Chain A
C-alpha cells in the first residue's frame, strides 16, 4: 500500500465539496474491499475521506410511506440483525449473512458493497429483484437510479466522480414479495459464489399463478443483472417443471461468464441455469406449503 492523505469530513456538504474539488478521492466506509484493492495496487488514492463522521449516510429505517431506507454506511451485520427488517423483508438479512465472514460483515457497508460492483457479490442480485433504488448526491444535485441502471460494467457503476451514494431504498411493495437468493459455492464458506441467483415473485390470490416475477444472476457476467425475458415467460402463468426448465435454458443461453479460478465459462453457464431453476422451484415450493397451511 502507498501512503495517503486522510481527511475526515463531518457533514455531507463538507464531503460533497471535497468530492467536487479533490481529484482521486477515495471514500472510506468499512474499508474491507478498499484495503485489498490498495494492497493489489488496483486503487492508488492520494487522498482518502473517512465517511465515519458523515451522519447523513447512516440510518436503517422504515419511512412513513413504507419505503425501507438503508443508509450507505449501514453494515452488512446490521442488515443481518435488524429484527423488524427480518419480519418485513427477510431475504435481505438472509442474504447479508452469506457475505464473507463475520469480521467482514461487522465493518463492510452496503454502500461499499454496491459501489465496488464486483459481479460476484451477493446482495446485488437480491436487491435487483426487490426493486431497489440508489440515491446519489453531489453539489450539482441528486439522482435516484434503479439498481439496474447503476451497474454499468465490471467494477464500474453510473456514479460520477463528484457523487456519493447516500442510501439504498426498497419500495414498500418489496414486503409483499416472496424473494430468495441462492449462492452456489463449491468450496468453503469464504468463497465468493461461482454464481448467485435471486428471484422474487408476487403470487395471485390463488397462490399458484405468478403476478410479477423478477430474476437476477450474479457472477455470470460483468455485472449482476436481471433477465427480463425470463421474467416475462414466468409471469401470469402457473409454473410447471417444463416452464422452469425452459426459463433455465434461456438463462444459460443469455449469461456471459468467463473462465477463472471459480470455474470455466461453460460450467458457470450450466450452474446459472441449474440454480435459476432451483431458486424458482424453492419459491414455488414455499407457496405450496403456504397454501396447505392456510386453506381457502
Chain B
C-alpha cells in the first residue's frame, strides 16, 4: 500500500510515494541514492544504518519510511549541506561539531575498511551533541551499538576523545 511522505533529508525537502513496508534505509539508498548509510545485520544491532532523525540517532533498518513522515533526517552525506544550510531546526546537528568528528576519525585512524564508519560518525556526533565531555566509559557505553570488525575499537574511542577535546578547546577560546 502506497503512502505519500514529506520529510527533510540533509536539508532538502523530499516528497515521495513509498510502500508502507519500505524501510527508511531502502528509501534513503534507493529513492534518494544516499548509499553512505549501509545495511548489515538488519535487526538494529550493528549500527551501520545509523542516521540522525529529529535530534537523535535511529536505526534506519528498523523504521518503515512512512513513520519518518515529517521528520528531519541527516545522513553521513549531509555535512556539506548542513554547513551551507541557511536555517535548520533546533534539533539539527551542529555543523562545526560534525566537521570536527569527521576530522578526528581521520586523524586518529578510527577506521580501517570503513563500512561501519558512517554509523560511527553519526553515533559520535549524537554523543557529543548530548554530552560534550564524555568519560571513556560513557564513550564506550554510547558507541557500543556500533560494531567494528577491524579496529578493535581503541582508535574509535580515541577519535571520539579527540573530537571532544577539540570541541572543548574551541569553546574555551570563544
Contact = CB atoms under 8 A, between A and B. Distances in A.
Interface of A: 1-6, 28, 31-32, 35-36, 38-39, 48, 50, 52, 77, 97, 100-104, 106-107, 188-190
Contact of B44 (A1, A5, A104, A189): A104
B119 to A, nearest CB: 9
Interface string B12-23: 000000011101
B64 A102 contact: no
Given A106-B56, A106-B57, A190-B45, A101 B20 contact: no
Contacts, number: 86
Contacts of B50: 103
A42 to B, nearest CB: 13
B1 to A, nearest CB: 5
Contacts of B67: 28, 31, 50, 52
Contacts of B147: 188, 190
B66 interface: yes
Contact of A32 (B42, B44, B57, B142): B44
Contact of B20 (A48, A77, A190): A48
B62 A102 contact: no
A103 B44 contact: yes
B42 A39 contact: yes
Nearest to A189: B144
Interface of B: 1, 3, 19-21, 23, 42-45, 47, 50, 56-59, 61-64, 66-67, 123, 126-127, 141-142, 144-147
Given A39-B42, A104-B62, 11 more contacts: A4-B20, A31-B67, A32-B44, A32-B62, A35-B44, A35-B63, A39-B43, A103-B58, A107-B63, A189-B141, A189-B144
B144 A101 contact: yes
Contacts of A106: 56-58
B1 A3 contact: yes
A134 B154 CA distance: 43
Q: Is the contact region of chain B dominated by helix, strand, or loop, or is it mixed?
A: mixed
A1 B21 CA distance: 6
Nearest to A75: B56
B145 A103 contact: yes
B44 A101 contact: yes
B142 A102 contact: yes
A3 B44 contact: no
A266 B92 CA distance: 50
B91 to A, nearest CB: 12
Contacts of A101: 44-45, 47, 144-146
A118 to B, nearest CB: 13
B123 A6 contact: no
Nearest to A190: B45
Contacts of B146: 101
B48 to A, nearest CB: 11
A3 B1 CA distance: 6
B21 A104 contact: no
A106 B52 CA distance: 11
